[in-house]
Amino acid sequence: MPMIPRRHGWEISDAEATPESVYLNRRQVLTQAAAAGISGVLAFQPWNSTAWAAKNPLVTGKQANPPAADKYPAGKNTMYTLDRPLTDERVAAMFNNFYEFSTVSKTNIWKLVEDWPTNPWTVEIGGLVPKPKTYDIDDLIRKMTLEERLYRHRCVEAWAMAVPWTGFRLKELIELVQPLSSATHVKFTTFMDPGHAPSQRGIWSLFSSGMWPYVEGLTMAEATNEMTLMATGIYGRPILKQHGAPLRLVVPWKYGYKGAKSIVKIEFVKEQPKTYWNQAVPSEYDFLANVNPKIPHRRWSQETEWMIPDRSVRRPTMLYNGYGEWVAHLYKKA
């Protein structure tokens, strides 16, 4: 009798819609799917977040010596309102996509980041700028204006959440560094640390496309949109490591994979950057990645979504994740 890992009801079908199934080998996929299916039947129970939170009072994943820690909590920008309750802080902190740490599970990333140091940390700003410069993260954050915003988040896999991010507008940084007019895109490169990030080393790097580091990109018009946030905090405190400490991109009208975590380099470039998921599976993850209920993923519909941790309630997906008022004009054909 093979060992079947016991799972909580709310994590039973991790494997059903995750991108990793395209690059793990077929046998692994089948084994995982079978294990998830069987344990799902045996262990399914409605998720009781109150009872669970009582047993797990501490959110782990704090940065050691978080940068600009005295800036929290930052002032609230009340312009962006939610149509749903905020996700429980501990639920958000314990359900993550962070492929550098695991391509298999979302529910133990918070443990896997424990020994990963995010300090010291520098962010290189380069490419088509008059003065390329490497900033210490603490100095960089202190140059910017921090604010808190409530945003919905929609993963391409159909799970969603609503969280308070603290951060600064990317636009403010762009105004500071004054990119040349020849720049058409911004390229975000994230950390490389095979010693701490298991997927970046050995055999795992083969199964995770071998294309590290994770890279994302935006057009200049998207990057300078008011909604585009560089998150440095969450729930009124410095951002947890599992959410992409110490600096993470947040573009809430796009699928979550655009929101690169743990950024070390921001470059202004003159062509569309080659991005991680788009390179790995171009037919399933496009560069644009705007949330759109009418454009199905190749393997599932995008008409509905569910809010973590409750898979049993599906709600309609909104075009641009409900942020069309701010961003639809970017995509109108002239």
Ligand X SMILES: Nc1nc2c(c(=O)[nH]1)N[C@H]1C(S)=C(S)[C@@H](COP(=O)(O)O)O[C@H]1N2
Residues of this chain that bind ligand X (CB under 6 A): 96-100, 155, 190, 214, 243-244, 256-257, 259-262
Residue 97 touches Mo ion, criterion: CB under 5 A: yes
166 binds Mo ion (CB under 5 A): no
Nearer to ligand X, 97 or 302 (CB): 97
Check residue 155 for interaction with Mo ion (CB under 5 A): yes
Is 97 or 275 the residue whose CB approaches Mo ion more closely?
Answer: 97
The option from ligand X, Mo ion, none interacting with 214 (CB < 5 to 8 A, set by class) reads ligand X
Q: Which is nearer to ligand X, 38 or 210 (CB)?
A: 210
Cβ within 8 Å of residue 55, ≥6 positions away: none
Taking CB under 5 A as the rule, which mask of x and - marks residues 236-275 in contact with Mo ion?
A: --------------------xx------------------
Phi-psi region of 318 (alpha: psi -120 to 50; beta: other; left: phi over 0): beta
Closest CB 47 distance from ligand X, rounded Å: 17
Neighbours of 20 (CB within 10 A): 22
Q: How far is the CB of 323 from ligand X (least distance, A)?
A: 16
- Answer with the entry of Mo ion, ligand X, none that 321 interacts with (C-beta below 5 to 8 A by kind): none
- Binding status of residue 179 toward Mo ion by CB under 5 A: no
> In the complex with ligand X, which residue's Cβ is closer, 30 or 223?
223
Q: Between residues 140 and 155, which has the closer beta carbon with respect to Mo ion?
A: 155
Question: Which partner, Mo ion, ligand X, none, binds residue 100 by CB below 5 to 8 Å per kind?
Answer: ligand X
Pick 211 or 220: Cβ nearer Mo ion: 211
Q: For Mo ion, which stretch binds (CB under 5 A), given 107-115, 121-129, 149-157, 268-276? A: 149-157
178 φψ region: left (φ > 0), alpha (ψ -120 to 50), beta (else) = left
Q: Where does this chain bind Mo ion (CB under 5 A)?
A: 97, 155, 256-257
